Amino acid sequence: MSRHDEALKVLLILRRRLLDRMATAVVERRDSLLNGRSKTNSPLSSDRDLAEMTRSLAEIDHAIAGLADIAENERDESTGYYGDPAHIDASSVGLFARYLELVRATRLEEASRELSTLFHMSLDRVTTATRFFARCLKADPHCVANLAELSAAAMDESDSQAMRAMIKTFGFQAVESRMALQVLRTRLNSTPV
């Protein structure tokens, strides 16, 4: 794994944590935000913490975009892959074929239900993961390769490497990654060859 890939994974984790903190702050300040106490057109700017979180999130998103470009170019150069990932057949992602078809068709609710069934996880957990994957796929169609590599990572890599693959693909937190990995390994071990 390159330095850029590793940095990208760290930034994705930081982004998820910041979004969790922001969600908590927004809910805590719901009344002041909804009652329009802001004198500007940006209600988040009226709260110093929320304004700072918004700025930090924009900075992290900018850094993620830059690192993703560099990391993807490195992977393309090292693998010689220059094909159009939008044309990768959904069947190449194994258990995730239906999920990928639904995300590509922007049927995210159905895709979330599919992922919920695949990972035996609650719908609210996988809805966030599906949105994460859909945004990634929209920004960089090569993200489909992350989905294609999940099964191999689950079977061939260490727990920590396979969990990182889950985080990279779905933006899961560590606990969610571990849960999903256990279910995926069970499914793959019970699938006839």
Q: What is the pLDDT of residues 132-153, one digit of tens each?
A: 999 988 888 878 888 888 888 8
CA distances from 175 to 25, 121, 166 (A): 22, 11, 11
* pLDDT tens-digit map of 21-56: 999 999 998 888 887 655 666 777 777 888 899 888
Asked if residue 172 lies in contact with residue 130, where contact means CB atoms within 8 angstroms, the answer is no
80 has pLDDT over 50 = no
Cβ atoms of residues 170 and 184 within 8 Å: no
Alpha-carbon separation of residue 55 from 41, 64, 106 (angstroms): 16, 14, 29
